Amino acid sequence: MISLVELRGVAAFSDLPDDQIEWFLRQIQEVSVQPGEAFVHKDDPADWMFIFLEGLFQWSGEFGGDIVTLPAQAGEVSGVLPFSRMKRFTVTGRALTDGRLGKFPVARFSELIHKMPELTTRLVAMMSERIREGTRIEQMRDRSASLGKLSAGLAHELNNPASAVKRAADQMRDMLAKMRGANSELWRLSVNDSDKARIEEAEASLLESKAVLLDGLALGDLEERLNSILRSHGHPDPWELSASLAKCNMASDTLVSLLTNLDSRTARPAPARIAASAELSILLGAVENSSDRISNLVRTVKEYTYMDQAPVQDIDVARSLETTLGTLAHILRPGIEVKRNCEPVPLLVSAVGSELSQVWTNLIENAIDAMPGQGELRLQIFREDNYAVIEIGDSGSGIPAEIKPYIFDPFFTTKDVGEGTGLGLTTVQTIVRKLGGNIQVTSKPGDTVFQVRLALVT
């Protein structure tokens, strides 16, 4: 039987009046457990608060697709605590050694609150600390998950320009070989100065041309015309050369003038040199564009994570939101239209940049998830008194009225098992409140808006 002295060994009860402890002892059930024995199972009704008296214990269960275990030992209070809204246990409790514990029925909490107000205060503080610690850990997990998604998206986004650079490099090697061949043939012919000038002029006109490169039917038509011109001037099987010249958008009359005015021997290798030179220029442009894309992606990620920057700084909320949107480009489906309405003057808030990015990431991802394949993602930023107001809206089906009061609760999620931790909006609310701001949501079918209000830097 549990004694008054033994219960005082538990810190929460150590200095409580005897009559209160004696009342408490009359309400609890004593339970002895053996190693490996469960004293509560996942999905059992949340009917008990536990006071661990002897031995070592462990809580375990699945969370976010992972198996999580938490140790417990004699002297701790666990299970359901006053004012908890838990309906069923989400984890299983087992003994690791021989042990004893007391079970206090949740049905007697109203009496406990009345008869033992000091203990109630301590248990509520214990629950709050537990929630804070759990939220802190899960915020880190949520941030890691966000970074994992960002990494996957970045790898996808980087793959296209990196592949383009690789293809361009391979083609440039072929073009250099063709240029060397054409140059060797021209050098053997001892080309006169007038022909050299004509070749250089035609080459320069292509390299300096700002004409839009052709594709599709227009490219095929030009290739046919250039092929006919080359064939009429004695070029055998000129398809490859005409394709190269057409790709560089060489005008038909330019080719006719060149071939007509050049020495007949020079007229064979000259177009090949010009085509190779012009294609090299095009490929260099492709490498530059792809390199710029890679640099922009890296810069976007550095801005998103605020790498190499002070932890707390004055942040332009519009730029922060736009940077986050850039990192999520890989999940923006073609059918989703982004509409922006932002104040032209920068609105600065004091914050940890990476945390602010996490707020936008969670809200934008939720908005995208709410629109399966198509819809409007609406971003609006404006000033209201001394606050920056940021609204992120979507045209999805809306949040059902029956779950709206719970969307910011820890571990609440409507996603399938393993797809969500239920901490995204909890994290958002925690960060926003830490910044001295607030977040509100309005929702109806076709129009859900999360509004974040943050104090402006004065």
Residues 103-156 have pLDDT tens digits of 999 999 999 999 999 999 999 988 888 777 766 666 566 666 666 666 666 676
d(CA 411, CA 418): 12
The last residue of a domain, from among 238, 270, 302: 302
- For residues 278 and 346, membership in a common domain is answered with no
pLDDT digits 0-9 by tens, 431-458 = 898 888 999 999 999 999 999 999 999 7
Residue linked to tokens 């977040």? 439
- For residues 391 and 360, membership in a common domain is answered with yes
* Interval 184-198 mean pLDDT: 82
- For residues 295 and 322, membership in a common domain is answered with no
- For residues 262 and 179, membership in a common domain is answered with yes
Chain centroid, CA 363 distance in Å: 11
Q: Is residue 140 part of a domain?
A: no
- For residues 189 and 290, membership in a common domain is answered with yes
Provide the number of structural domains found in the chain: 3
**Which pLDDT band holds residue 421 (cuts at 50, 70, 90)?**
very low
Evaluate if residue 367 carries a pLDDT over 70: yes
Residues across the chain? 458
* Interval 259-274 mean pLDDT: 82
d(CA 93, CA 103): 13
- For residues 332 and 427, membership in a common domain is answered with yes
Task: Output phi, psi for 313, to 5 deg.
Answer: -155, 170
- Classify each residue of 218-244 as buried b or exposed e, where b means 16 or more C-beta atoms within 10 Å of its C-beta: eeeebbeebbebbeebebeebeebbbb
Q: What is the largest CA-CA distance in the chain?
A: 118
pLDDT of residue 418: 38
pLDDT of residue 93: 95
**Which pLDDT band holds residue 419 (cuts at 50, 70, 90)?**
very low
- For residues 341 and 437, membership in a common domain is answered with yes
Whole-number percent of the chain with pLDDT over 90 = 36
Evaluate if residue 297 carries a pLDDT over 80: no
Task: Output phi, psi for 352, to 5 deg.
Answer: -80, 115
Q: How far apart are the first and last CA of the chain?
A: 64
Q: What is the CATH number of the domain that holds 41?
A: 2.60.120.10
Evaluate if residue 345 carries a pLDDT over 50: yes
- For residues 201 and 318, membership in a common domain is answered with no
Mean pLDDT estimate for the chain: 84
- For residues 315 and 385, membership in a common domain is answered with yes
**Which pLDDT band holds residue 329 (cuts at 50, 70, 90)?**
confident
pLDDT of residue 454: 95
For residue 432, give its domain range: 310-455
- For residues 346 and 286, membership in a common domain is answered with no
pLDDT of residue 105: 96
Residue 43: count other Cβ atoms within 10 Å of its Cβ.
12
Single pTM value for the model:
0.47
The last residue of a domain, from among 276, 302, 328: 302
Secondary structure letter of residue 45 according to DSSP: B
Evaluate if residue 58 carries a pLDDT over 70: yes
Evaluate if residue 381 carries a pLDDT over 70: yes
Dihedral angle computed from the Cα positions of residues 137, 141, 146 and 148, in that order, rounded to the nearest 10 degrees: 150
Evaluate if residue 162 carries a pLDDT over 90: no
* Interval 155-168 mean pLDDT: 80
Look at residues 379, 370, 289, 316 and name the one whose alpha carbon lies nearest to residue 342.
379
Q: Is residue 385 part of a domain?
A: yes
* Interval 170-189 mean pLDDT: 85
Which residue would you say has higher pLDDT here, 302 or 430?
A: 430
Q: Are strands 312-316 and 92-95 parallel, antiparallel or unpaired?
A: unpaired
Which residue would you say has higher pLDDT here, 162 or 154?
A: 162
Residue linked to tokens 């958008």? 249
Q: Is residue 158 part of a domain?
A: yes
- For residues 270 and 368, membership in a common domain is answered with no
Q: Is residue 143 part of a domain?
A: no
- For residues 332 and 412, membership in a common domain is answered with yes
Evaluate if residue 214 carries a pLDDT over 80: no
pLDDT of residue 420: 43
Q: Is residue 428 part of a domain?
A: yes
The last residue of a domain, from among 243, 267, 302: 302
Q: Is residue 365 part of a domain?
A: yes
Q: What is the CATH number of the domain that holds 345?
A: 3.30.565.10
Task: For residue 2, give Cα distances in angstroms to 30, 80, 101, 422.
Answer: 7, 20, 9, 39
Q: Is residue 93 part of a domain?
A: yes
Q: Is residue 139 part of a domain?
A: no
